Amino acid sequence: MTQGNNFAWPVTTLCKFDYYALKKVVEENDSKFRAKKIIIMGAGIRGIAFSLLMAKLGYGVTAFTDNNEVKVGGRINELPILAFDEIRKMKDECIVLISVENGIALKKQLEEEGFAENEDYFYVENHLYERYLEEFLRKDGFETLIMGDCGITDISKEDSEFANLGEMLKKDMGEKKIKVLAVHAMGMRAYYHILSAQVHYITKPRKVVIMANFETFTGTQHMLPRSQHAKLIEMVSDSIHNRDEALLEYVGVTRERFEQFKVDYFTSSQDTLNKMTSGRNDRIVIRMNYMYDLREDNENIQYMKKIISLCGENGIKLFFFIPPVNYQYAKELYGDKFFELYEKNVEKLKNIAAEGECSVLDLSYLLGSCQFADVHTIDETTNYEGRILVKAQLIQQINSMG
């Protein structure tokens, strides 16, 4: 067994566009992937998802590599995380898959060491940002704007029905009546700036629905590189010719934060590392994402209030929705302590919304464990059966707004 800290994130969901993009790359280059060792560059959440996707497609991954020195020498379950120096020596016997989003710097790093694109390494692009921007710019008379993260875009790794929640909502409500702007790990500050640009420069919706995922309100989530989407924010700003000064300033903020690669749940402190077990890290993730003390001075709370003001000033009907939580699994791990701490945060969020005279649709206990991406999942993403139930609740609430 590989020694060292296990940096495996309990990934139970997949971005469907990652699946299709990776599938296309490996099938078109099957002989290359069969002939060499496969190394995933980027030992983070997307890298772990890539390893699951490769297994689903029938390819074995040999190892990970990462520029974060804290992770080097550790592992993702049974797979070692190697230093890039070791990968350099393996050039003739391996193929590198870049899993990091906006991985231009990693492409440059590989090419400086003689790795050729589409021969020695592959950079898999899902064009998620291009899809998002196209939806942002659409003006065909929609009434409702829905904003959220991977709970809207992703599917279970066990699903056979690949329609995500956003697609299901558009199908049932009508493609032209609803606009869905969603991408993983996005928080209230990004929602605010994108919503403001939408209202002032594209089309003002009558109704706005925003996902309030408790992970985004933690004290560190808004600083993580994977939460920045610096390129996407820049694309949105460029699309309105950089006329929104606050959005343009935010472009700079996301660039700066993205460069802080060492800010990570599992590498931000020695205390966290010491508490990691040799197996799944579910207890740590549930505690960090749901059982913390929600503070009103948190950046995302402040921007939630700005969203409420923005909608009020523009006569837009607004509600936030709290996605389902896998409370059955959380209770298994923490007992009633989970409910005690989680419900305090729910109450705080509802009070903030009430102060702004908008509502919260609380779907916390809507689903059982079997309706999530996995019975042991630690995030809000559901399977197809669960998405049907969430969709019905959202449509009912939207229609009740008149």
pLDDT in tens, the chain (402 residues): 456 888 887 788 888 888 889 999 999 999 999 999 999 999 988 999 999 889 988 999 999 999 999 999 999 989 999 999 999 999 999 999 999 877 889 999 999 999 999 999 999 988 999 999 999 999 988 999 999 999 999 999 889 898 999 999 999 999 999 999 999 999 999 999 999 999 999 999 999 999 999 999 998 888 888 889 999 999 999 999 999 999 999 999 999 998 875 444 444 433 444 444 334 578 888 999 999 999 999 999 999 999 999 999 999 999 999 999 999 999 999 999 999 999 999 999 999 999 999 999 999 999 999 999 999 988 889 999 999 999 999 999 999 998
Is there a contact between 232 and 126 (Cβ–Cβ < 8 Å)? no
Q: What is the pLDDT of residue 12?
A: 85
Q: What is the pLDDT of residue 3?
A: 67
Q: What is the pLDDT of residue 259?
A: 80
Distance CA 327, CA 331 (A): 6
CA dihedral sign of residues 384, 388, 390, 391: positive
> The pTM is what?
0.84
- In this structure, how many other beta carbons lie within 10 angstroms of the beta carbon of residue 194? 25
Place of tokens 């800290």: 5
H/E stretch holding 181 = strand 178-182
Is there a contact between 124 and 25 (Cβ–Cβ < 8 Å)? yes
Distance CA 340, CA 402 (A): 35
Rg (CA), the chain: 21
| Residues β-bridged to residue 320 | 210, 360
Distance CA 332, CA 232 (A): 38
- Two structure tokens written together for 176: 């032209």
Distance CA 53, CA 40 (A): 12
Distance CA 162, CA 155 (A): 7
Q: 267-294: string of b/e by CB count within 10 Å (b at 16+)?
A: beeeebeeebeeeebbbbbbbbbbbbeb
Distance CA 39, CA 93 (A): 10
Residue 381 DSSP label: -
Distance CA 328, CA 367 (A): 9
Distance CA 149, CA 169 (A): 15
Place of tokens 């993983």: 184
CA 168 and chain centroid, separation: 19
Taking the C-alpha atoms of 166, 177, 20 and 68 in order, what is their torsion angle to the nearest 10 degrees?
A: -50
